[in-house]
Amino acid sequence: MDPRPAKPKVVVVMPAYNAARTLRMTYADLPHHLVDQVILVDDGSKDDTAAIARELGLELFVHSRNYGYGANQKTCYREALKAGADIVVMVHPDYQYDPTLLPEIIRPIQAGEADVVLGSRLLGSSPLKQGMPWWKYVSNRFLTWLENVIFGLELSEYHTGYRAFSRQALEAANLQMNSDRFIFDQEIIAQVVDLRMRVTEVAVPTRYFAQASSASFGQSVVYGLSILWLLWRYLLHRAGLLRQRQFESLQRRYSGAEAAGGKAHSL
């Protein structure tokens, strides 16, 4: 019998929408010796994203229409867990986040030091010099400060699309109750914080160029207001004034259902 511990299965998930121009170079830059499988979910793209994914040999899932960024991630994580992933890394196929930094993203989970790792654009070199719009930088800093106060963490950024999760974190979080829109990213953070999962971050430089997807000013305003509403709901939940299933552990619920004879398995 081999005494060495089994290598954790690393699955990269790519939530894609009209990523045909950047998908090839994103995939090419992945450290393939560390990645066991790449899953791409095409959320109703109108370009050749799905065709290129097939050409590259990716595990492809295609939505019949554009359901939204959060809905895309739900499919990504569901299929990654079905594939037996131990560590799931979200890599946007728009080439904004550097795929070569994947070893840094997964290292804290591999070392047993974290359950969730965020790739922060605000650590290290200035994101303004990298091309981040000033209004996006200011709003990012304000919302991050507020989230740190409410979540009790000391992170430099919460609004990154470069993330890694342990299998245990994804299995415990009630992902299906989250939004199908961009606020999904912050809802899952609220969930893992409430589940007392360990969250850390690593620095990731970011590229801003024409082909990289970026929310407009109007979309960012809506997103910011959605975060404020989420934080208010989370405060009510944590204070016990308005408990919400969205923030409760699925594993605890399943355990309770089993003890009661398996009568409560609905999400």
pLDDT at position 259 is 36
Instruction: Tell me which DSSP letter residue 116 carries.
Output: E
Whether pTM > 0.85 for this model: the answer is yes
- How far apart are the C-alpha atoms of 25 and 74, rounded to whole Å? 24
What does DSSP assign to residue 224?
Answer: H
Q: Tokens 């979080």, residue?
A: 173
Check residue 219 and give its pLDDT.
Answer: 80
pLDDT of residue 16: 98
Q: Measured between alpha carbons, how far is 71 from 63 in angstroms, rounded to an integer?
A: 9
Distances (CA, A) of 96 to 67, 136, 139: 22, 15, 19
d(CA 254, CA 203): 36
What does residue 18 show for φ and ψ, rounded to 5 degrees? 55, 55
User: Any idea where the domains of the chain sit in the sequence?
Assistant: 10-259
Helices (H), the chain: 23-28, 49-56, 69-82, 102-110, 134-151, 167-172, 184-194, 217-238, 250-259
Distance CA 52, CA 96 (A): 18
The reported pLDDT for the residue numbered 5 is 62
**Predicted confidence (pLDDT) per residue in 175-219, tens digit:** 999 999 999 999 999 999 999 999 999 999 877 655 555 567 778
- Residue 132 banded pLDDT, cuts 50, 70, 90: confident
The tens digit of pLDDT for each residue in 216-225 reads 777 888 999 9
Q: Compute the mean pLDDT over every residue in the chain, rounded to the nearest whole number.
A: 89
Q: Which CATH superfamily is domain 10-259 in?
A: Spore Coat Polysaccharide Biosynthesis Protein SpsA; Chain A (3.90.550.10)
The tokens describing 26, both together, are 């994103």
